[in-house]
């Protein structure tokens, strides 16, 4: 049987990092088994579902490279199908019409609580054989078994059992003409031929009800794999302060690469020996959802940053230049020219070495495009005192005397100034860095000189000398 997995987010918000991991696991499992990956948008919550959230989910899937074979399929396009199945179940005696008002249901709930019992439907219409009639309170309830258990072998959790006595007769079709979540999911999984349901273990309570529905209807039952949730580094449930943010925030606000996010999320609950860097091709060969751990994984930004730094260093320079273009333009307040972009790509090998995020890349490259006189950060300004200015002036003369703006010759000239003064190279490199970049840290000073070129380098040094005079 062909493996068919599905990722089925509700568009009530952006795709958060836990949902992205679920999507990744679904994708990898289907691809490894040469199956089909389906994207389904569960948008029956009309009050909370938004087009903006749908767009964010689709963009996030595209950015992460999680290509689906079918979809997106929208539940709101399938309302008639849900109604058809619900009415068929009534005709078969597997479901029934019920007409309690909100007040009657509330009274039922309060009575149970007064008896210290779990609130549940009392089955008043279960055996009433109530006919179909126009009534604003009309719902369809599934006739759930009243004894026995719901049990299955979860691919991750192992054997799970739940008593049917804990389940009441679930509403499958509401009075507003919409199917309930658990019913729509079951119908969708049947119609779409889903063989493997991979999702967060916050769906375990839904699983009991959905499996009861499937078995009651005599439908094929998928294999379930409930993935443990992600916790923060402190062991608490993942929240915004831990990193429970939309995928867009990791891309736009924090500057992560998709390959780093994929690698990190994949390892967040699953592993292959001691391998930390796992390519997409390797993942497609090695991943098996049955190998996902049963315990909650802990989100660690430090590990993610280190992984992102690796992928930045490995990334194509022109691609990195394109990715940080918008950040640079926003910081500079102007558009980068074609020549600027060529310079940016040329500078990438020395800019990206220490970068952990694309924010670092953009900040590290900003000095290349600043207009004269360049601004100074506090550390840079402190490096341009009286003695440093004297050394800077000597370095300027040495640089002016170079016949060719070549890195080796530039280094030779500056070193000669340091030796003449009886100082280490750093004593001159630091004020040079401040004058050329306006910062206390930068790529190697001779890389900076070459990238800026003769005219711009000399002019920036002269600006600093004039400022300090």
Tokens of 445: 């000073």
In which region does residue 441 sit, left (phi positive, over 0), alpha (psi from -120 to 50) or beta (all else)?
A: beta
Report DSSP letters for 292-330, one per residue: S-SSPEE--HHHHHHHHHHHHHHS-HHHHHHHHHHHHHH
**Helices 386-400 and 407-420 meet at what angle, rounded to 10?**
140
Closest to 406 measured CA to CA, from 442, 453, 444, 445? 453
173 and 179 Cβ atoms separated by less than 8 Å: yes
Closest to 309 measured CA to CA, from 352, 266, 247? 352
**Helices 338-351 and 317-332 meet at what angle, rounded to 10?**
110
At a CB cut-off of 8 Å and minimum separation 6, what does 82 contact? 173, 178, 179, 183, 184, 187
Tokens of 427: 């004593």
User: What letters, b where the CB count within 10 A reaches 16 and e where it falls short, cover 106-141?
Assistant: eebeeeeeeeeeeeebebebbeeebeeeeeeebbbb
CB atoms within 10 A of CB 77: 10
β-bridge partners, 225: 198
- Cite the active site residues: 240
Burial class (CB in 10 A: 0-12, 13-18, 19+), 8: buried
At a CB cut-off of 8 Å and minimum separation 6, what does 5 contact? 26, 27, 29, 30, 35, 36, 37, 38, 194, 195, 196, 197, 198
CB atoms within 10 A of CB 375: 11
Query: How much of the chain is helix, strand and coil, in % rounded to 5?
Result: 50, 10, 35
426 and 446 Cβ atoms separated by less than 8 Å: no
Q: What is the rounded distance in angstroms from the CA atom of residue 43 to the CA atom of residue 12? A: 8
């Amino acid at each position: 049987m062909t493996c068919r997995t599905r990722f089925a987010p509700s568009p009530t918000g952006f795709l958060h990092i836990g949902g992205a991991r679920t999507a990744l696991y679904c994708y990898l499992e289907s691809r490894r088994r040469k199956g089909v990956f389906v994207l389904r948008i569960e948008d029956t919550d009309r009050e909370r579902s938004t087009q903006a959230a749908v767009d964010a989910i689709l963009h996030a899937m595209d950015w992460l490279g999680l290509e689906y074979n079918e979809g997106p399929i929208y539940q709101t396009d399938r309302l008639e199908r849900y109604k058809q199945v619900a009415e068929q179940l009534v005709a078969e005696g597997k479901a029934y019409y019920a007409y309690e008002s909100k007040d009657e249901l509330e009274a039922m709930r309060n009575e149970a609580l007064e008896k210290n019992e779990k609130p549940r439907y009392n089955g008043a219409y279960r055996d009433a054989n109530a006919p179909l009639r126009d009534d604003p309170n009309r719902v369809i309830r599934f006739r759930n078994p009243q004894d026995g258990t719901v049990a299955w072998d979860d691919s991750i959790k192992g054997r799970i059992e739940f008593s049917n006595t804990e389940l009441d007769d679930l509403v499958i079709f509401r009075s507003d003409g919409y199917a309930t979540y658990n019913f729509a999911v079951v119908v969708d999984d049947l119609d779409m031929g889903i063989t493997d349901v991979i999702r967060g273990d916050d769906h375990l309570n839904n699983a009991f009800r959905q499996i009861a529905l499937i078995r009651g209807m005599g439908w094929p039952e998928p294999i379930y794999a409930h993935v443990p949730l992600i916790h923060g580094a402190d062991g608490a449930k993942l929240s915004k302060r831990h990193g429970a943010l939309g995928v867009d925030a990791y891309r736009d606000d924090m500057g992560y690469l998709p390959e780093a996010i994929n690698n990190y999320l994949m390892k967040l609950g699953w592993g292959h020996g001691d391998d930390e860097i796992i390519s997409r091709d390797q993942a497609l060969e090695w991943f098996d959802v049955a190998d996902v751990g049963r315990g909650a994984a802990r989100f660690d930004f430090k590990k993610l940053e280190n992984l992102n730094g690796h992928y930045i260093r490995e990334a194509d320079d022109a691609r990195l230049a394109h990715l940080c273009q918008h950040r640079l333009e926003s910081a500079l307040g102007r558009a980068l020219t074609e020549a600027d972009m060529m310079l940016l790509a040329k500078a990438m090998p020395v800019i990206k070495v220490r970068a952990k995020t694309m924010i670092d890349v953009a900040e590290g490259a900003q000095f290349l495009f600043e207009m004269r006189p360049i601004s100074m950060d506090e550390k840079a300004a402190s490096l341009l005192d009286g003695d440093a200015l004297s050394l800077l002036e000597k370095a300027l003369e040495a640089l002016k005397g170079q016949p060719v703006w070549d890195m080796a010759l530039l280094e030779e000239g500056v070193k000669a100034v340091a030796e003449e003064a009886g100082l280490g190279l750093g004593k001159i490199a630091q004020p040079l860095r401040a004058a050329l970049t306006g910062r206390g840290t930068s790529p190697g000073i001779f890389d900076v000189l070459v990238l800026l070129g003769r005219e711009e380098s000399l002019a920036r040094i002269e600006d600093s000398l004039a400022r300090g005079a």
